[in-house]
Amino acid sequence: MFVRLSFVAALLIGLAFAPAKPRRVIFFGDSITQAGVKPGGYISRLTEMLGKQNKGADYELIGAGIGGNKVYDLFLRMDDDVLAKKPDLVFVYIGVNDVWHKRTHGTGTDPDKFLKFYEAIIRKLQAANAKVVLCTPAVIGEKTDFSNEQDGDLNQYSTMIRELAKRQNLPLCDLRQAFLDYNLKNNPENKASGILTTDRVHLNDTGNQFVADLMMKYL
Amino acid sequence: MFVRLSFVAALLIGLAFAPAKPRRVIFFGDSITQAGVKPGGYISRLTEMLGKQNKGADYELIGAGIGGNKVYDLFLRMDDDVLAKKPDLVFVYIGVNDVWHKRTHGTGTDPDKFLKFYEAIIRKLQAANAKVVLCTPAVIGEKTDFSNEQDGDLNQYSTMIRELAKRQNLPLCDLRQAFLDYNLKNNPENKASGILTTDRVHLNDTGNQFVADLMMKYL
Amino acid sequence: MFVRLSFVAALLIGLAFAPAKPRRVIFFGDSITQAGVKPGGYISRLTEMLGKQNKGADYELIGAGIGGNKVYDLFLRMDDDVLAKKPDLVFVYIGVNDVWHKRTHGTGTDPDKFLKFYEAIIRKLQAANAKVVLCTPAVIGEKTDFSNEQDGDLNQYSTMIRELAKRQNLPLCDLRQAFLDYNLKNNPENKASGILTTDRVHLNDTGNQFVADLMMKYL
Amino acid sequence: MFVRLSFVAALLIGLAFAPAKPRRVIFFGDSITQAGVKPGGYISRLTEMLGKQNKGADYELIGAGIGGNKVYDLFLRMDDDVLAKKPDLVFVYIGVNDVWHKRTHGTGTDPDKFLKFYEAIIRKLQAANAKVVLCTPAVIGEKTDFSNEQDGDLNQYSTMIRELAKRQNLPLCDLRQAFLDYNLKNNPENKASGILTTDRVHLNDTGNQFVADLMMKYL
């Protein structure tokens, strides 16, 4: 009788003191996300920010970005790079190359297929019980007068993502809108780069911090 | 003495009654202008409008539009199709294909070369004592949320034309701005076509009248 | 005793007369294959040819072609459209749009990704115990002097498929080589279409029969 | 009397010894020709070769190449860069960018327009009494199995130039055919560059000498 009691007590004590399993968060994307795990990258910054809030042990942030990736590349490698890691939460941050490569390589993604693959990714993530945050592709050019060459197309794909989030009642991290709002305030000379990006697409220090701040709200 | 007097009188009378040479106006452009001389086209409408104002004899309107033309095509054929006709005024209405064909044929025009040819056209027209009106390319898609695929690029080329007009102090018929303003009021469903165009690019009846009204101010 | 014996006999007789399960063959591809199941299409012709050889009951031919499909579209839908049907043999006939759409839509497929998805498709088919036949994309233009606009690129992708077949020791139905050989003999006027295709890409009657004859060897 | 005689004599002597006006040859093209005037470039090599043959005084070779030029760029600048210099002979060496930029910038040149501008250039050169040599664009990639991405298109444009030369009975320097023949012998590993080019397009030392040797025949 004594033994049994002490066993149950030990068990209860053990449960109480066991460190909670940290929340595993995967950032799934392209070269912007690949750079996010470097020092100063948006994922590294998120990790640091969580540390300063004494939440370092509560989260495990994993970068799963590969340069040049489009939506179908994510679908192809998601079993190995995402599902196998059993994430609790996945940020899907894709779309720049799907639009950009139309012009530079002739190998962008048609809008209807972009949507089809995006939906397939969400289905597989949800089937694996992962929460999903959708992100709009931020910029290909930071000019604020809508004269960046592929603004129209990037708006089209961002609108598709926004409508998809609404339709499926999923959280949306609207980077594109946030970048535009920021540039309208901070880019009075209508520059194509140098505000939040180094080269019209990839994030500079300010841009990495900006994205980290935006994404923090969804953790 | 009598003879001389009567000669002078006849001369004066002759001058008084001689019909003034009509102002020759050439519309120089692409398929939109090629369609402009058809019944219901914007040039035909301008001719009718001038007739109703009893100014029919004061103007000779000539369409010089060829489908698929880009800025360099205008330059190639301007000797034969424009300068040989000794125009008093020329509307240069070009740019849609320079942007559009990047996507559809891989044969658009680089922005720096667009500007170079545009300036060369103006120089040749002015050397022939023709007045010039610059027009911005109206639309490739009428959606009002800047999500028409090539909006960004078309804005870039329109901005170049606007700055060129300002730099050279030339009249600007800003079709792109006017089309956008019209659509913001009259296209609440964010349709891609059917407001001023039949197919996102070419003018329907309303569009032809709209362009005719805008251009009338420069005659 | 008698009962048992008769039972075994009935069983043996039953096995002897039971129709063998037909070999299920799926043709997996794009619009060329989608048209293949229509009357006169290459799959319909194969079915008829097998019937005339009294092999109609031995095979079940299934078309799984969708217009506009590229290699990654096959990967996306292969669970539903191919694996769910438990095929014994699959012809993978893809690649035309991966090259063609670079020019027409800016949405072709990069060579390295073409290969990656192709290999992934093969892996999944083999994991499901299906035999695989690889086909090279036949033509985008039938001119025999290598001046069809995308000949170079189509040759590149065909070479990749040939090398993949060799590397993995898989049967190769080299449509591209066969079409070229046929055109070299039968297209003395160097026409772009009308020999084996209606429109440079899609098969005419001769082309459908030609493909059927070539594929018959792999059944 | 003496004076007059000696004057006439001096004049005759002067005429006899006066150096003949050298033949002015202009090489009109793109970046390949722009590099041709550098040390080791094909035009520099031609000048040296003529010098060694003691024909240095008989020829004046002028490079008129600008990087990125397409056929219409030549047309735009030919008055200043070619006709103003009153050449006796002009090598027109253009076409690589007209094809290449379709893929890299979406701003190549349609075949029908390529021909139109090419013909217009020839007309203007001939009207100025300059002889013309047409050159085919050599290569975008040196692979010999016709799998360089834009081989088909480059063949198409080269065929147009060949037919134009034949139609107008003009000398043709068929660089593309010569490069292919050379590579078939000297590129057994089917390399994309490094045989006659540094980067698939621009000439290495061997390439510059090869072009110089080919062009020498037309001087």
Distance from CA of D184 to the nearest CA of A (A): 29
Distance from CA of B187 to the nearest CA of D (A): 31
Structural contact between residues B112 and B164, judged by C-beta atoms closer than 8 angstroms: no
Q: What is the mean pLDDT of residues B12-38?
A: 83
Percent of chain D with pLDDT over 70: 91
Interface probe with A: pick from D104, D107, D149, most Cβ of A within 10 Å = D104
Contact state of B110 with D113 under an 8 Å Cβ cutoff: no
In a domain, C8, yes or no: no
Q: How far apart are CA D134 and CA B101, in angstroms?
A: 28
Contact state of B103 with C103 under an 8 Å Cβ cutoff: no
Look at residue B17 in the predicted model and tell me its pLDDT. Answer: 54
| Partner-chain residue, chosen from C141, C149, C156, that has the shortest CB–CB distance to D147 | C156
Contact state of A147 with B155 under an 8 Å Cβ cutoff: yes
Contact state of D106 with B109 under an 8 Å Cβ cutoff: no
Those residues with Cβ within 8 angstroms of residue C166's Cβ, 6 or more apart along the chain or in another chain: C172
Closest among D84, D82, D85, D86 to D94, alpha carbons compared = D82
Q: What is the mean pLDDT of residues C121-132?
A: 98
For residue D184, list chain C residues with Cβ-Cβ distance below 8 A. Answer: none
Distance from CA of D159 to the nearest CA of B (A): 19
| Partner-chain residue, chosen from D76, D110, D113, that has the shortest CB–CB distance to B117 | D76
Distance from CA of A102 to the nearest CA of D (A): 9
Contact state of D103 with B103 under an 8 Å Cβ cutoff: no
Print burial letters for D84-116: b (CB count within 10 Å at least 16), e (below 16). eeebebbbbbbbbbbbbbbbebbbbbbbebbbb
Residue of chain B whose Cα is closest to the Cα of A145: B155
Distance from CA of D199 to the nearest CA of A (A): 18
> What pLDDT, in 10s, does the model give residues A125-173?
999 999 999 999 999 999 999 999 999 999 999 999 999 999 999 999 9
Q: Which helix (H) or strand (E) holds C159?
A: helix C151-168
For residue A149, list chain B residues with Cβ-Cβ distance below 8 A. Answer: 152-153, 156
| Partner-chain residue, chosen from D103, D141, D151, that has the shortest CB–CB distance to C146 | D151
Look at residue D93 in the predicted model and tell me its pLDDT. Answer: 98
Q: What is the mean pLDDT of residues B124-141?
A: 98
Structural contact between residues A197 and A203, judged by C-beta atoms closer than 8 angstroms: yes
Look at residue B192 in the predicted model and tell me its pLDDT. Answer: 98
Closest among B155, B161, B22, B157 to B91, alpha carbons compared = B161
Which structural domain, as residue segments, surrounds residue A28?
18-138+151-176+202-216
Look at residue D1 in the predicted model and tell me its pLDDT. Answer: 43
Interface probe with C: pick from D99, D149, D183, most Cβ of C within 10 Å = D149
Distance from CA of A186 to the nearest CA of B (A): 20
Contact state of D148 with C152 under an 8 Å Cβ cutoff: yes
Strand order in A23-29's β-sheet? A59-65, A23-29, A89-93, A131-135, A172-173
Is residue D165 over pLDDT 90?
A: yes
Interface probe with C: pick from B100, B104, B150, most Cβ of C within 10 Å = B104
Percent of chain C with pLDDT over 90: 90
In a domain, A76, yes or no: yes
DSSP calls for chain D:
-HHHHHHHHHHHHHHHHSPPPPEEEEEEESHHHHGGGSTTSHHHHHHHHHHHTT-GGGEEEEEEE-TT--HHHHHHHHHHHTGGG--SEEEEE--HHHHHHHHHTSB---HHHHHHHHHHHHHHHHHTT-EEEEE----S---SSS-STTHHHHHHHHHHHHHHHHHTT--EE-HHHHHHHHHHHH-TT--SSSSSBSSSSSB-HHHHHHHHHHHHTT-
In degrees, to the nearest 5, what angle opens at C-alpha D114 toward C-alphas D110 and D115?
Answer: 125
Which chains contact D through at least 3 pairs of Cβ atoms less than 8 Å apart?
A: A, B, C
D156 in reach of chain C (CB within 8 A): yes
Kindly indicate the confidence band of residue B20, based on its pLDDT and cuts at 50, 70 and 90: confident
Contact state of A155 with B141 under an 8 Å Cβ cutoff: no
In a domain, C12, yes or no: no
Contact state of C149 with D148 under an 8 Å Cβ cutoff: no
Is residue B123 over pLDDT 60?
A: yes
DSSP lists the bridge partners of residue D25 as D61, D89
- pLDDT tens, residue order, chain A (219 aa): 444 545 555 555 545 555 679 999 999 999 999 999 999 999 999 999 999 999 999 999 999 999 999 999 999 999 999 999 999 999 999 999 999 999 999 999 999 999 999 999 999 999 999 999 999 999 999 999 999 999 999 999 999 999 999 999 999 999 999 999 999 999 999 999 999 999 999 999 999 999 999 999 999
Look at residue C3 in the predicted model and tell me its pLDDT. Answer: 47
In a domain, C162, yes or no: yes
Contact state of C152 with D151 under an 8 Å Cβ cutoff: yes
Look at residue D16 in the predicted model and tell me its pLDDT. Answer: 52
Q: What are the φ and ψ backbone dihedral angles of A178, each rounded to 5 degrees?
A: -65, -40
**Which two three-digit tokens encode residue A44?**
């590294």
Distance from CA of C42 to the nearest CA of D (A): 28
Look at residue A162 in the predicted model and tell me its pLDDT. Answer: 98
SS3 A93: strand
Kindly indicate the confidence band of residue D18, based on its pLDDT and cuts at 50, 70 and 90: low
| Partner-chain residue, chosen from B73, B106, B109, that has the shortest CB–CB distance to D102 | B106
The count of domains in chain A is: 1
Structural contact between residues A62 and A29, judged by C-beta atoms closer than 8 angstroms: no
> What pLDDT, in 10s, does the model give residues C40-79?
999 999 999 999 999 999 999 999 999 999 999 999 999 9
Interface probe with D: pick from A99, A101, A104, most Cβ of D within 10 Å = A104
Q: How far apart are CA D210 and CA D142, in angstroms?
A: 14
Distance from CA of B94 to the nearest CA of C (A): 23
> What pLDDT, in 10s, does the model give residues D126-138?
999 999 999 999 9
**Which two three-digit tokens encode residue A97?**
């190359």
C177 in reach of chain D (CB within 8 A): no
Structural contact between residues C93 and C28, judged by C-beta atoms closer than 8 angstroms: yes
Q: Is the dihedral of CA D78, D79, D83, D84 positive or negative?
A: negative
DSSP calls for C64-85:
EE-TT--HHHHHHHHHHHTGGG
For residue B108, list chain D residues with Cβ-Cβ distance below 8 A. Answer: 106-107
In a domain, C9, yes or no: no
> What pLDDT, in 10s, does the model give residues B146-163?
999 999 999 999 999 999
For residue C106, list chain D residues with Cβ-Cβ distance below 8 A. Answer: 106
Contact state of C103 with B106 under an 8 Å Cβ cutoff: yes
Distance from CA of D153 to the nearest CA of C (A): 4
The mean predicted confidence, pLDDT, of chain C is 93
DSSP lists the bridge partners of residue C64 as C28
Q: Which of residues C2 and C153 earns the better pLDDT score?
A: C153
Q: Which helix (H) or strand (E) holds A178?
A: helix A175-186
In a domain, C189, yes or no: no
Structural contact between residues B89 and B28, judged by C-beta atoms closer than 8 angstroms: no
C14 in reach of chain B (CB within 8 A): no
Q: What is the mean pLDDT of residues D75-90?
A: 98
For residue C148, list chain D residues with Cβ-Cβ distance below 8 A. Answer: 152, 156
Q: Is the ipTM of this complex over 0.95?
A: no
CB atoms within 10 A of CB C100: 23
Q: CB pairs below 8 Å between B and D: how many?
A: 45
In a domain, C165, yes or no: yes
Structural contact between residues C172 and C134, judged by C-beta atoms closer than 8 angstroms: yes
Largest CA distance in chain A: 80
Q: Which helix (H) or strand (E) holds A28?
A: strand A23-29
DSSP calls for B117-174:
HHHHHHHHHHHTT-EEEEE----S---SSS-STTHHHHHHHHHHHHHHHHHTT--EE-
The mean predicted confidence, pLDDT, of chain B is 94
- Domain CATH for B155: 3.40.50.1110
In a domain, B45, yes or no: yes
Look at residue C20 in the predicted model and tell me its pLDDT. Answer: 73
Q: What is the mean pLDDT of residues B46-63?
A: 97
| Partner-chain residue, chosen from C102, C106, C116, that has the shortest CB–CB distance to A76 | C116
Closest among C160, C138, C147, C154 to C191, alpha carbons compared = C147
Contact state of D152 with C151 under an 8 Å Cβ cutoff: yes
For residue D105, list chain A residues with Cβ-Cβ distance below 8 A. Answer: 103
For residue D145, list chain C residues with Cβ-Cβ distance below 8 A. Answer: 155, 159
| Partner-chain residue, chosen from A103, A106, A152, that has the shortest CB–CB distance to B151 | A152
DSSP lists the bridge partners of residue C132 as C90
pTM: 0.90
Structural contact between residues D70 and D97, judged by C-beta atoms closer than 8 angstroms: yes
Contact state of D152 with C146 under an 8 Å Cβ cutoff: yes
Those residues with Cβ within 8 angstroms of residue A52's Cβ, 6 or more apart along the chain or in another chain: none
Q: How far apart are CA D23 and CA D69, in angstroms?
A: 26
Look at residue A143 in the predicted model and tell me its pLDDT. Answer: 97
Structural contact between residues C61 and C51, judged by C-beta atoms closer than 8 angstroms: no
Q: Which of residues B103 and A18 earns the better pLDDT score?
A: B103
CB atoms within 10 A of CB C65: 23
CA-to-CA dists, residue B131 to B23, B29, D55, angstroms: 11, 16, 52
Q: How far apart are CA D179 and CA D204, in angstroms?
A: 13
Contact state of A107 with C110 under an 8 Å Cβ cutoff: yes
Residues 82-121 of D with CB under 8 A from B: 101-103, 105-110, 113, 116-117, 120
CB atoms within 10 A of CB A185: 10
Those residues with Cβ within 8 angstroms of residue B73's Cβ, 6 or more apart along the chain or in another chain: B66, D113
For residue C101, list chain A residues with Cβ-Cβ distance below 8 A. Answer: 106, 110
Look at residue C1 in the predicted model and tell me its pLDDT. Answer: 43
Closest among A86, A169, A90, A182 to A138, alpha carbons compared = A182
